[in-house]
Structure 1
């Protein structure tokens, strides 16, 4: 079965679209960072100087320019300058280890490497030559006209984990980003949108927050600190009129558990990167019915989102969780098995087609050929990206996510979906939980369950509120895996009214024996990575498991 968006967006470049917005409303605020406001006219002027400087430095279409920096208005100026010079950019996180930075910069064979202040320090440690942002707007004069590139040209390189243990560079074209916002955006942003720019710089959610606003004539509100806290969010809504926010479900859980009212005043909240929590989605819809709540699904190979869904109360009560949604503009969703689309309602691998699909992986022809291929959909052969995700399409064309094909566990000959065990654990009285398959000493994989206390457990609300409202504590929660994985060995303490024996009994009442976890570990808080996804390595390491 297949599903696609009715009216695909015409292809366009990112910088060409921003230039059209700037001509239409030059005085409108494009970027806010602290007390600094940058208009569209000023953004174009400064990014033009950066582009000419890069051209003088030998940057040409087809080049990839690594940029190591933190979130800032200057970063937005530089990235637009790189695109206007005809090149693609790859944003690298200043917090990454020096060895990783050196390896990625070397792999891109860049004519020039750019960095802000913290990025310069990181690249010095990594032994990489680079230019500072401060020098980029000083140029001896234009290097002629700036080049034209097509919407098919690479705009952004996203580095992602590879199954071989070596990072892969996803080559994302201009059209993959612009399809989401022009001429008709994937959701209703409304007039003069203002979106908080708080995502990790190397992640495609950063594309949503920055380019989404600049392509629509909105304002990107740059959050320069590492972590977005409730007090900061309240200030953005009150002082700057923030209308839109993106969160991972894990971070949304933290906010919903302690300070849901910090979201009051938003037009829309977008969730993505993992399955949204039905219980907290319901709480938000009940408490703030004027906030539009969306679920978004899409691997980085399709740039930001392939499907979206405005979440309703009814969606939060379904047995399969919140639907992943309908295709965004310029996108086709196919459910396939062995290269052929399956019958309606059947579960198979999710394949994504359309203008959002990446060009492939940098210098990895084998991985590109395996993932970017063709499938048979009716009488057509369609080029797609094979996601490795499983799902099905309902009669309306909405995608329902069914987990990762490679995340399935095989225990004693049985295929097990971790999400099913996690759902049973939540129903049995746990809060957020994570299932991993970890081998024992003999190499046999075992089901290990890591779980938080239930939101209904005694003292949990007070504890969560303290965690969320104290910015220093929250930063430790997100960034310090060792701290966040503190364990209380008495399961009865952690699970509140549900003791260890009762919890296991509840699981056994709904799970067959082969799906029962071999070990259950309760933790105060599930640790999160810098991009606020679950840190599975930290969980495993805390209890001495191999990772």
Structure 2
């Protein structure tokens, strides 16, 4: 059987129960720190329980999905734990997203309550959507009677992650408690060491947010929240010096910028974790040369397997591999297969990467057809063949003789920009809504080699300029999906099979393909 399973037999638990164990062991330790506030584990546990009691009173029950429109903060951490304690699952929406997108996702969640911070409240007030603020929760829960909280199974949904949809609409991935706790409870995918401190800067709707927050709160560490949208070298240096930061997650694109500029800002960290795209061997080599005492990891995994499915500690030898930096070995509780036509292939052969185990998502919210297409059974080969449930990633890869995964690209049109998984169809659907009959979104690197989205579209019937089209797209798409450039064409160049000739389009506007 071409699979590897690590950590089976490790007791499964819920996120909030695992947090509660840590809070009882380290009540006075800093859990979440912001620029103006430090919250201890004891304070966070008490606040979370008060919020949970109030949410039960508002109708949150096991199976409820509670939207949260907010930015990173200690208050957000308390709200998320409160939702989990009440038996619900949380879906965090970025307060910067366009109001129309937020409204659509809120409708899909069908929640009895919507929680917000000040930035989220401003967004929803403008859209006329009812909500309850963190401040209101704090004011009404203090002094209320204790409420019995429900027992929650580790198999229950804990969080929703949003990923771009091939049908033109975002998909909500339902991730269970066990998917998170398999990574961050004892015997997880890495040893964070004594009193780790993680810089908490990931986008709230992304699974890297879970990595930064729960890796700390389930291990007795401290999450230091970054307030600004971008994490730049001066801030990293300050967090290491003033907050004692030990761990940092970076997308490979940001890592490239830092490696090519102020690489010294990382000095003092224990470990840097990369994920969301393929790391540059040149940047990794430069980092290892500059910081031989800092651990460098590459993590691979779609949100359907929560944060990481495989992890590899990068060595100097890896930077010389013709196949690039390895994706690594499976993390605890994860089964890894390489399949073709629904059956596993021998090691060394390339096929589609399929992921199973306790990290597997429960499917997509309100999307049974998409769920059944992506979550399937595959047949293993070998002495004990069996049918195993997996998520078919659409990624290509191979397992070497040691069981290490090597990534080999995509089998479809999906692209990665700054760690975000993007379906071009969602961007193309947005320009079609403006009246364009035909379009294609392509990832085209700039002069530094960094990929960016370029959109080619037949001009909409209504008279708008390319720049106006780009601004209109900002009203419906999150910032990371807005094309860097829009080009109008009178008609699309086609191949003999009537598909759009992407190479000719790129060349017409001076892009190398």
**Pairwise TM-score range, normalised by the shorter structure:** 0.7 to 0.9
Rate the CA distance shift 1:287–1:88 in 2: closer, same or farther, 3 A. Answer: same
Question: C-alpha deviations, 1:433-484, integer Å up to 9, x for none?
Answer: xxx9999x998999985331479xxxxxxxxxxxxxxxxxxxxxx9799997
Alpha-carbon distance, 1:132 to partner: 0.7
Q: Indicate whether 1:387 and 2:398 are aligned.
A: no
- Report the secondary structure of 1:135's partner residue: helix
Rate the CA distance shift 1:344–1:155 in 2: closer, same or farther, 3 A. Answer: same
Contact 2:249 2:272 (C-alpha < 8 Å) held by counterparts? yes
1:244 maps to 247
- Report the secondary structure of 2:446's partner residue: strand
Per the normalisation by structure 2, the TM-score is 0.82
Separation in 2 of the partners of 1:446 and 1:114?
34
The equivalences for 1:195-214 within 5 A come to 195-214=198-217
Separation in 2 of the partners of 1:298 and 1:153?
21
Query: 144, 148, 151: which is aligned to 1:141?
Result: 144
1:127 maps to 128
Separation in 2 of the partners of 1:242 and 1:345?
40
The equivalences for 1:140-159 within 5 A come to 141-142=144-145, 144-159=147-162
After the TM superposition, which segments of 4 or more aligned residues of structure 1 sit over 4 Å from their partners?
A: 436-439, 441-449, 478-486, 515-521
Question: C-alpha deviations, 1:111-139, integer Å up to 9, x for none?
Answer: 00000001001111222100011011222
Question: C-alpha deviations, 1:514-539, integer Å up to 9, x for none?
Answer: x9965778xxxxxxxxxxxxxxxxxx
Rate the CA distance shift 1:286–1:485 in 2: closer, same or farther, 3 A. Answer: farther
2:408 maps to 402
- Report the secondary structure of 1:144's partner residue: coil
Contact 1:32 1:219 (C-alpha < 8 Å) held by counterparts? yes
2:113 maps to 112
Question: C-alpha deviations, 1:390-434, integer Å up to 9, x for none?
Answer: 1000001011001111039xxxxxxxxx99xxxxxxxxxxxxxxx
Rate the CA distance shift 1:255–1:483 in 2: closer, same or farther, 3 A. Answer: farther
Alpha-carbon distance, 1:144 to partner: 2.5
Alpha-carbon distance, 1:351 to partner: 0.4
Contact 1:447 1:517 (C-alpha < 8 Å) held by counterparts? no
The equivalences for 1:344-355 within 5 A come to 344-355=347-358
Give aligned pairs, total.
450
* Structure 1 segments unaligned to the other structure (5+ residues): 409-417, 420-435, 456-477, 487-514, 522-539
Rate the CA distance shift 1:162–1:520 in 2: closer, same or farther, 3 A. Answer: closer
* Structure 2 segments unaligned to the other structure (5+ residues): 417-423, 429-435, 451-477, 487-500
The equivalences for 1:172-183 within 5 A come to 172-183=175-186
1:101 maps to 102
Contact 2:252 2:274 (C-alpha < 8 Å) held by counterparts? yes
Contact 1:2 1:332 (C-alpha < 8 Å) held by counterparts? no
Separation in 2 of the partners of 1:254 and 1:90?
31
The equivalences for 1:319-468 within 5 A come to 319-378=322-381, 379-407=385-413, 449-453=444-448
Per the normalisation by structure 1, the TM-score is 0.77
Separation in 2 of the partners of 1:340 and 1:323?
23
The equivalences for 1:220-259 within 5 A come to 220-259=223-262
- Report the secondary structure of 1:71's partner residue: coil
Contact 2:5 2:336 (C-alpha < 8 Å) held by counterparts? no
Q: Indicate whether 1:23 and 2:24 are aligned.
A: yes
Contact 1:349 1:388 (C-alpha < 8 Å) held by counterparts? yes
Q: Indicate whether 1:70 and 2:80 are aligned.
A: no
Rate the CA distance shift 1:13–1:313 in 2: closer, same or farther, 3 A. Answer: same
Separation in 2 of the partners of 1:26 and 1:63?
29
Rate the CA distance shift 1:451–1:207 in 2: closer, same or farther, 3 A. Answer: same
Alpha-carbon distance, 1:163 to partner: 0.5
- 191-200 or 445-454: which moved more? 445-454
Separation in 1 of the partners of 2:244 and 2:185?
23
2:456 maps to none
Rate the CA distance shift 1:444–1:346 in 2: closer, same or farther, 3 A. Answer: farther
Rate the CA distance shift 1:90–1:447 in 2: closer, same or farther, 3 A. Answer: closer
Q: Indicate whether 1:2 and 2:2 are aligned.
A: yes
